[in-house]
A and B are shown apart, each in its own frame.
Chain A
Amino acid sequence: MKALLQKEFTLSLHPMAIVFLCFAALVFVPNYPYEVIFFFSGLSVYFICMTARENGDLLFTCSLPVTKRSVALARILTAVILQCALLIFTALCIGVKQIVYPRELLVNLAANSANLAFCGFGGLLLGTFNLVFFPLYYRDPNRVGIPFLIATAVQFGLIALMIILRHMPFYAPLTVPDPTGWGAKLTVLLCGLTLYAAMTFSAARLSLRTFERVDL
Chain B
Amino acid sequence: MKALEVEALKKVYPDFTLGPLSFGVEEGQITGLIGRNGAGKSTTLKAMMGLISCEGRVRVFGKDFSEEEFAVKERLGYVGGGFRFYPAKPLSAVARAAARFYPHWNEETFLHSCNEYGLILSKRVRELSEGMKMKFSLALALSHGAKLLLLDEPTSGLDPLSREDFCDTLLTLKGQGVTILFSTHITSDLMRVADHILYLSNGKLLANEPLAGLLGRYRVQRFASFEEGHAAGAIGVKPTKMGLEGLVTGFEGREATLDEVMIHLEYAQKETI
Q: Which residues of A contact B (CB under 8 A)?
A: 2-3, 6-7, 10-11, 55-57, 59-60, 62-68, 212-216
Contact = CB atoms under 8 A, between A and B. Distances in A.
A60 B53 contact: no
Nearest to A6: B100
Given A56-B85, A57-B85, A212-B53, A65 B73 contact: yes
Contacts of A11: 86, 89, 93-94, 97
B80 A59 contact: yes
Nearest to B101: A64
Contacts, number: 63
B52 interface: yes
A64 B105 CA distance: 12
A57 to B, nearest CB: 7
5 contacts: A11-B86, A59-B80, A64-B98, A213-B53, A215-B46
B69 A63 contact: no
A171 B161 CA distance: 75
B51 A216 contact: yes
Given A10-B93, A60-B85, 7 more contacts: A6-B100, A10-B97, A55-B87, A55-B89, A64-B101, A65-B69, A215-B52
B154 to A, nearest CB: 14
A7 B97 CA distance: 5
A46 to B, nearest CB: 18
Interface string B173-209: 0000000000000000000000000000000000000
Given A55-B87, A57-B85, A59-B80, A68 B50 contact: yes
Contacts of A62: 49-51
Contact of B86 (A57, A64, A68, A212): A57
B100 A7 contact: yes
A67 B69 contact: yes
B74 interface: yes
B208 to A, nearest CB: 25
A65 B86 contact: no
By Cβ-Cβ distance, the 8 closest A-B pairs, closest first, are A65-B73, A215-B52, A3-B100, A60-B85, A216-B51, A63-B78, A7-B97, A56-B85
B51 A59 contact: yes
A14 to B, nearest CB: 11
**Most chain B Cβ neighbours within 10 Å, of A65, A213, A216:** A65
B102 interface: yes
Interface string B33-74: 000000000000010011111000000000000000110011
Nearest to B99: A3
Given A3-B100, A7-B100, A10-B97, A63 B86 contact: no
